[in-house]
């Protein structure tokens, strides 16, 4: 396979009448999916004059149109730029000025904002009227059912903007081969079947959603149920009704499902968790209640994104598994040495690692050909990875390293604690001290909690303060926004 569209074409040739996409009460077969993609590709070619390397922004929720345009742009050699629909105008303006897209595909609700920024080159997928400004089209106007298509194999295939937690967002350039190799690597580890049914509750604008809920199932010829909004009871109904067998999700989804007294008959074989650390108590409780194993994995946008995942038959609780077969990992220790195991910053090499950052010299992000992830890990003698923390989240207390995840794990072991996040706060005497933000299921005694922490943590790791909250601020992918919490301490 040379390009992402080949996933659709291959499955359409083998399983033309098999369901590819389910969305609410509608279904599309692989044959129908291919025909729609080709029709949209013709429209992009003849109406909007898309050429190889042109950037095309997709700012859509989890609806079938995301897949339609994703593969149509790829077929023509264009570059897909997926954006989070929750981004604000100033954030979108920065990205658009950085990548200079030729076209934006979006919803009516965001048209005014894009028209104000770009003035033309906009497709509105849910617009019915035809009297649109020049350079603006509705969906019907970009569907052309006849005509030849000149296809191109061109890179990058996708331009993924990072969340910007370390400054302005950077555009990670992912090639067709980056993503294809990642899909093949995941398929080699997981016990997958052509009869599996995936559910796309992960946002498709995110690399985890694209690989695990779009490209992987279409490569295999599996159906995908699109979910554009997560509501626990409605989500369970979707899983049961459509006999979903594979659930890729983030920890916040598993946590939310456990807050409801839901007992249901299901066909889930196992789930995969990524995007953020999965608390051990959430993992064990979910598996106990639903009889469905959660396989924890690890990845990042720059790696297309999956680096490691637990194999179904040798799952290690607390670990994010082994690297994919085509991925090589190392650790960079504090003294600057590179080792195959031990503790240090995780380095990754393989065909899944990005081409580089768009418009930037990316050499400073690599060491000896390995990408520097910024994550502190432990790699044991069997090759299993354990994420200790983000390098930037490390708290240094009087010269001693405190990994927030270690403290969080202990706090989560206290009865009544639902979620927590530990961040560093500046301190005149010790440089920094840890502060814990805690969400509880019930009222708890703070003095007893502190006593519990003192028994289970070295004194310098014990939080200086405990701040109780109703909920923790999170991104769309379930990551706790620790920068927001640190702002509360200023």
The CATH architecture annotation of domain 394-489 reads 2-Layer Sandwich (3.30)
CA distance 249 to 292: 13
- Check if 5-174 and 394-489 are the same fold: no
Q: What is the pLDDT of residue 490?
A: 80
Q: What is the pLDDT of residue 86?
A: 82
CA distance 121 to 56: 9
CA distance 67 to 65: 5
Q: What is the pLDDT of residue 399?
A: 66
**What's the burial of 358, exposed, middle or buried (CB within 10 Å: 0-12/13-18/19+)?**
buried
Partners of 328 in beta bridges = 349
CATH of region 5-174, choose from 3.30.470.20, 3.40.1160.10, 3.40.50.720, 3.40.50.12780: 3.40.50.12780
Rounded (5°) CA angle 206-264-272: 30
CA distance 256 to 236: 12
What does the buried/exposed string (b/e) look like for 327-348 if buried means 16 or more CB atoms within 10 Å of the residue's CB? bebbbbeeeeeeeebeebbbbb
Domain residue limits, the chain: 5-174, 176-391, 394-489
Phi, psi of 173 (to 5 degrees): -90, 115
Of the candidates 65, 67, 51, the one whose C-alpha atom is nearest the C-alpha of residue 12 is 67
Q: What DSSP state is assigned to residue 470?
A: S
Total Cβ atoms within 10 A of residue 392: 12
Q: Are 432 and 425 contacting, i.e. CB atoms less than 8 angstroms apart?
A: yes
Residues of the chain with pLDDT under 50: 165-166
CA distance 20 to 210: 15
Q: What is the pLDDT of residue 167?
A: 54
Does domain 176-391 bear CATH number 3.40.50.12780?
Answer: yes
pTM confidence score: 0.87
């Amino acid at each position: 396979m040379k390009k992402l569209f080949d996933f659709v074409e291959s499955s359409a040739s083998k399983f033309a009448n098999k369901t590819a996409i389910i969305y609410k009460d509608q279904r599309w077969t692989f044959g129908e999916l291919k025909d729609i993609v080709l029709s949209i590709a013709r429209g992009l070619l003849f109406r909007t004059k898309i050429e190889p390397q042109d950037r095309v922004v997709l700012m859509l929720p989890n609806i079938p149109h995301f897949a339609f345009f994703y593969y149509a742009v790829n077929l023509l050699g264009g570059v897909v730029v997926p954006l989070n629909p929750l981004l604000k105008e100033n954030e979108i303006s920065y990205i658009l000025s950085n990548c200079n897209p030729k076209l934006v595909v979006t919803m009516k609700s965001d048209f005014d904002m894009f028209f104000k920024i770009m003035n033309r080159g906009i497709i509105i997928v849910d617009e019915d009227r035809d009297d649109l400004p020049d350079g603006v089209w509705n969906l019907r106007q970009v569907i052309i059912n006849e005509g030849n298509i000149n296809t191109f194999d061109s890179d990058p295939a996708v331009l993924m903007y990072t969340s910007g937690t370390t400054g302005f967002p950077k555009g990670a350039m992912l090639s067709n081969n980056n993503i294809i190799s990642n899909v093949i690597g995941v398929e080699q580890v997981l016990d997958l079947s052509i009869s599996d049914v995936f559910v796309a509750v992960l946002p498709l604008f995110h690399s985890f959603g694209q690989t695990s809920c779009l490209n992987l199932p279409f490569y295999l010829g599996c159906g995908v149920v699109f979910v554009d909004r997560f509501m626990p009871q409605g989500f369970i109904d979707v899983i049961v009704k459509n006999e979903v067998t594979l659930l890729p999700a983030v920890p916040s989804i598993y946590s939310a499902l456990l807050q409801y007294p839901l007992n249901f008959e299901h066909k889930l074989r196992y789930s995969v968790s990524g995007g953020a650390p999965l608390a051990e108590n959430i993992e064990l409780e979910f598996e106990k209640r639903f009889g469905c194993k959660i396989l924890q994995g690890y990845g990042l946008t720059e790696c297309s994104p999956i680096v490691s995942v637990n194999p179904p038959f040798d799952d290690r609780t607390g670990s994010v598994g082994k690297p994919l077969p085509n991925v090589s990992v190392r650790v960079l220790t504090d003294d600057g040495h590179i080792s195959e195991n031990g503790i240090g910053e995780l380095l990754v090499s393989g065909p899944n690692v990005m081409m580089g950052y768009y418009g930037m010299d990316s050499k400073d992000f690599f060491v000896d050909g390995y990408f520097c992830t910024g994550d502190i890990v432990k790699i044991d003698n069997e090759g299993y990875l354990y994420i200790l923390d983000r390098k930037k989240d490390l708290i240094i207390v009087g010269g001693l390293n405190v990994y927030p995840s270690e403290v969080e794990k202990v706090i989560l072991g206290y009865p009544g604690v639902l979620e927590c996040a530990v961040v560093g706060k500046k301190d005149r005497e010790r440089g920094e001290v840890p502060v814990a933000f805690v969400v509880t299921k019930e009222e708890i005694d703070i003095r007893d909690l502190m006593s519990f922490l003192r028994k289970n943590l070295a004194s310098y790791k014990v939080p200086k303060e405990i701040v109780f909250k109703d909920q923790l601020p999170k991104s769309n992918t379930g990551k706790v926004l620790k920068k927001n919490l640190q702002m509360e301490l200023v």
